[in-house]
């Protein structure tokens, strides 16, 4: 199943223990509690379920949903 922006949004909110409505897509996720453990957990989930091949550093370098979308193969 292909990853979508909405799915990314939902997964990120889930990892942060927040409601998706409270997580803007264009803001720094570090301010919302994203940390390396959570990034790794998300990455593992997306690799397993969606065959994503981005690296940890790619995501960690620019931690925002919009910035992640192209890295995760979402147009």
d(CA 60, CA 21): 22
Q: Which residues contact 16 (CB under 8 A, 6 or more apart)?
A: 23, 29, 32, 33, 34, 38
Chain contacts with another protein (rule: CB under 8 A): 17, 27-28, 30-41, 57, 60-64, 67
Nearer of residues 2 and 46 to another protein, judged by Cβ: 46
Nearer of residues 16 and 74 to another protein, judged by Cβ: 16
- The minimum distance between CB 3 and another protein, in angstroms, equals 21
Q: Identify the CA nearest to 11 among candidates 28, 34, 30, 31.
A: 34
Nearer of residues 2 and 49 to another protein, judged by Cβ: 49
């Amino acid at each position: 199943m292909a990853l979508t922006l909405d799915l990314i949004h939902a997964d990120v909110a889930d990892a942060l223990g927040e409601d998706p409505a409270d997580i803007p897509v264009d803001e720094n996720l570090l301010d919302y509690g994203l940390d390396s453990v959570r990034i790794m957990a998300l990455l593992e989930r997306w690799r397993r379920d969606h065959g994503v091949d981005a690296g940890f550093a790619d995501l960690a370098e620019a931690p925002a949903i919009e910035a992640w979308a192209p890295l995760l193969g979402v147009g």
